[in-house]
Amino acid sequence: MANSVMFPIKTSAQYDGSKIETFINAGADIDNGTVFVKSTLSTATDESEVYTLTLPATGAGLTNLYMAYTSELNMIVGSDGNEYRVGDLNPKNFTNYAGYAFNGFKLTVGDRIKITGDGLGGTKSTNTFVVATNGTGKLTWAAAAVSGVSLKLVKESYFSIPEGGIGSQRTVAYVFEVVAVA
């Protein structure tokens, strides 16, 4: 499974810890770079201050979104339920597993992220924005900013990911800046 890779280059959450929350999603794995709405406190864990999430929805559900980001420390969950951390250097083999807590940060105007193309929906073509879209956690390519969360393409970039032999380690990525959150 080719999971997206996302790195927060500069976020206000790095300097304001109140914009970082802990989430849990019982239904499905969540890739880094997925956007979602902060919902209610979870009852699925004994931890306090762990929230559930919902996918972006029309109207107010497209504003004030959080983005999943947990450092790519790969984990395997055994059939016995035990967690095993592995020394896999490929961040595409990482995901935030369903039923396990992960971090998310609140998107704020001026934040910059770098994300691989497989973390985005739609087609790049001549589009220079990605926007939050009803019913999906993937930001979707668009021609212009919209009402809700919008990020503007700053430049095409890459991640060096150890997927094959020498010369095959560059994976296309894009640097975006958040230009609207409401």
Tell me the mean pLDDT in the region 5-14: 86
Surface-to-core class of residue 99, CB atoms within 10 Å of its CB (0-12 exposed, 13-18 middle, 19+ buried): middle
Structure tokens at 106: 């609140």
| pLDDT at res. 134 | 92
Q: In the predicted model, what is the mean pLDDT of the chain?
A: 85
Cβ-Cβ contacts under 8 Å for 102 (sequence gap 6 or more): 22, 23, 24, 30, 68, 70, 96
pTM of the model: 0.84
Look at 112-126, 132-146, 152-166 and tell me which has the smallest mean pLDDT: 152-166
Residue closest to 102 by CA, chosen among 50, 139, 64, 55: 50
Q: Does pLDDT of 1 surpass 50?
A: no
